[in-house]
Amino acid sequence: MNVWSKLLTALRGGANEVGEALVDGQALRILEQEIRDADTQLHKSKEALAQIMAKHMLATEREKNSTAKIEDLEHYTLKALASGDETLATELAEKIASLEIRMPETQAQTASLGSSAAQLRKAITMAQDRLQTLKQQMDSAKTTESVQTAQLAVTQSCGAPKASLQVAAQSLDRIKLKQAELGAKIEATDQLAELSNPDAALENKLMAAGIVPSKPSAASVLTRLRARPHTEA
């Protein structure tokens, strides 16, 4: 596989992933639309069933009328034969034959319409059950989505203070680090000063140890004067 083929394959894969993500993100809306479409189709199926049932009723009625007509004509034919009227009997027999010729077609149409009505009625019942199940599942999915959205909102709102505290703690750590660095810098500066003037550093250490008297200051002068005995001027 050359570079262009690999690139096209990668692009197709990316497009599929984007498409699947879009479908997943709109799953409930798609399901709602499918349910609306199914409702519309179910309504049309019910209208078609009503028309088929009406035709079946008419076909059944025609079949019954034809059967009754044949029975009546047979009765009249028998009477004509009994009276010796062959001409009338023949005429009646011709009408009976004409009706009987059309009877199989009428019966077949009635049976076909009845079968179609039964099959469509069964399909409608199954579709109604399936549609009801889908509606219940959609309601459940909507409820779950609402709960999850609320939970996510609560989680995010509770997470905001935690994030702020974390940022504050990080800032405090940075301040402490800077203070430690400044303290180390001051200490290093003092050490460098001692190295540059070792005599002064030694004198400071001796004064701190009390071995060498410290340099006079206003405080030390006042302390010394207060310690003198008082004399009259």
For residues 63 and 106, the answer to whether their CB atoms sit within 8 Å is: yes
Question: What CATH number did the domain enclosing 116 receive?
Answer: 1.10.287
Please give the pLDDT value at position 138. 80
- Residues shown for the chain: 233
Helix (H) or strand (E) holding 228: none
User: Is residue 130 assigned to a domain?
Assistant: yes
User: Is residue 210 assigned to a domain?
Assistant: no
Split at pLDDT 50, 70, 90, the class of 34 is: confident
pLDDT exceeds cutoff 70 at 152: yes
pLDDT exceeds cutoff 90 at 21: no
For residues 59 and 106, the answer to whether their CB atoms sit within 8 Å is: yes
pLDDT tens-place string over residues 49-68? 999 999 999 999 999 999 99
Split at pLDDT 50, 70, 90, the class of 38 is: confident
Please give the pLDDT value at position 233. 45
User: Is residue 41 assigned to a domain?
Assistant: yes
Split at pLDDT 50, 70, 90, the class of 118 is: very high
Split at pLDDT 50, 70, 90, the class of 157 is: low
Q: Which domain holds residue 148?
A: 3-154
User: Is residue 188 assigned to a domain?
Assistant: no
User: Is residue 63 assigned to a domain?
Assistant: yes
Cα distances (Å, whole numbers) of residue 232 to 224, 229: 18, 10
- One-letter amino acid for residue 21 of the chain: A
For residues 121 and 49, the answer to whether their CB atoms sit within 8 Å is: yes
Average pLDDT over the chain, rounded to an integer: 76
User: Is residue 204 assigned to a domain?
Assistant: no
Judged by average pLDDT, the poorest of 36-40, 107-111, 130-134, 192-196 is 192-196
Q: How many domains does the chain have?
A: 1
Judged by average pLDDT, the poorest of 83-97, 139-153, 180-194, 195-209 is 195-209
User: Is residue 102 assigned to a domain?
Assistant: yes
